[in-house]
Structure formats: structure tokens, C-alpha cells
Amino acid sequence: MRSSRLVATLGGPGLPRGVGFFMAKIAFFIDGFNLYHALDYCHAIPEHHRYRKYKWLNLRKLASLFVGRLDTLGEVFYFTALATWMPDKVARHKLFIRAQESEGVSIVYGEFKRKDKRCFVCRKQYSTFEEKQTDVNIAIHLLQLAIQDRYDRAVIISGDTDLIPAVKAVRQTFPGKQIGVIIPIGGSSEDLKKQADFHFKLKEHHLASSRFPNSIILSDATTLECPVNWR
């Protein structure tokens, strides 16, 4: 299934188990924070500053790059949460979300929870926030859409190994469907890849091909501008 020859022939992920050539509907499930932090981590490395501009991604266009010529791009889901205690970041995030919605991407919200931690150095306790519910939301949507037969093939863009139980469950319950993963740039996630029917590595040329222009004009004539620190 992971044959590069097969992928090259189809221009996409390959064939579902046990079937021949047919037009498959492919749904995408994008772990927003896993993707964002992969780009943010790369930005933190001096020689990787060029990745900053790829935060302004057209997620539906990105998904389309992994759809074969015989297949159909179905629903695209973006799983995320708003960091409400940081107004500037929320403003950028909402702008990004509006850009995705203009392309038909469905937004699924989780939330942040306050969590107390202890410093390993000074031993003092402090409060921080952790994003919750994304892996559960992805698992629920993978299962619900499989039950409703809304995809033949599902593709998860994430390197989060917490998604392994969901991948296993859907593959075991719906053996006629195929689950693949795309690992964000800078990641590896070997355990997650082992559970998938196919996997790809997100590369810079995928990001470059799917970046929004700095100015986007919506159907209602509204203009969205890429945040300055994402250029």
C-alpha cells in the first residue's frame, strides 16, 4: 500500500484494501495545533525562519494535493481551540478560521483548560493552559463519518500518537475503509504511521503550493490580510 510506484500512478494515497480502481471520496481531518506548532518549532530554528509564512495555509488546497486523479476531495475538518487569554493571538486565529471557512473547511472547536504544574528547578507551582479535546473530537468525527458512509478514505494530518486508538478502532470496525496519515514537517511519529494504511510526510513544496496570497477577497467583497508576522 505504501508503494511509491502506486502513489505515482494515482497521484494520491493509493488504493483501499481489497478493491480495484474506483473513485474514492476522501475526507481530511486536520489537527490544527499539531500542524501549527510544527511550523512554529521550525520557525524557532534560525535556518528554518522561512516556514513562518506557511502559517497562512489554505487547508483545502493542501488537502487537494494528496487526492488522486481518480478520487474526489470530500469534507475537510480543522480541529482547533481559541487561546482566549491572548487577544492578539485570538485575532489572528479568527482571521485564519474565516479564511478556511471561505474555502468550505468545517471548524471543530475544542478548548483550553487551566492546569497547575510544578517547576523542576525551583519547585514552585504555576498555572498554564493545555489544549484539550482535539484527539477526542477527531476520533468522534472519524467514527461518525464512517458510520454515515461519508468517506471511503480518511486522511489525518497530525503526528499525535494519541490518535492511534481511533485509527485502530475505525480500521477494525470498517475494514472496507482506509485511514492514512500525513505527518507535519519536522515530525516523524513512527508508531502512528505503523497503524495507518498509508502515510506521507508534509514537505515544503506542499506548503508553498497551498499558501494563501497575502490578500484574500471573499465572495462578499471583504478582504482578509495575512497577519504581518506570518509574512
DSSP string, 7-32: HHHHTSS---TT--S---EEEEEEEH
Question: Residue 82: helix, strand or coil by DSSP?
Answer: coil
Report the DSSP beta bridge partners of residue 126: 117
Residue range 60-87: mean pLDDT, rounded: 93
**Considering the entire predicted model, what is its pTM?**
0.83
Distance CA 157, CA 6 (A): 21
Say which DSSP state 124 is in: -
Question: Residue 39: helix, strand or coil by DSSP?
Answer: helix
For 189-221, write each residue's pLDDT tens digit: 899 999 999 999 999 999 999 999 999 999 999
184 closest CA partner among 57, 70, 14, 31: 31
Is the pLDDT at 15 greater than 80? The verdict is no
Q: What is the pLDDT of residue 20?
A: 41
- What confidence tier does 133 reach under pLDDT thresholds 50, 70, 90? confident
Q: What is the pLDDT of residue 48?
A: 52
Distance CA 160, CA 175 (A): 23
Those residues whose C-beta lies under 8 Å from the C-beta of residue 166, and which sit 6 or more positions away, are 135, 138, 139, 142, 143
- What confidence tier does 23 reach under pLDDT thresholds 50, 70, 90? confident
Domains of the chain, first to last: 23-113+123-226 (3.40.50.1010)
- What confidence tier does 47 reach under pLDDT thresholds 50, 70, 90? low
Distance CA 44, CA 39 (A): 9
For 83-121, write each residue's pLDDT tens digit: 878 899 999 999 999 999 999 999 999 876 666 556 566
Mean pLDDT of the chain: 84
A 10 A CB-CB count for 20 gives: 6
Distance CA 48, CA 21 (A): 40
Is the pLDDT at 4 greater than 60? The verdict is no
By percentage, how much of the chain surpasses pLDDT 90? Answer: 64
149: left (phi over 0), alpha (psi -120 to 50) or beta: left
For 153-172, write each residue's pLDDT tens digit: 999 999 999 999 999 999 99
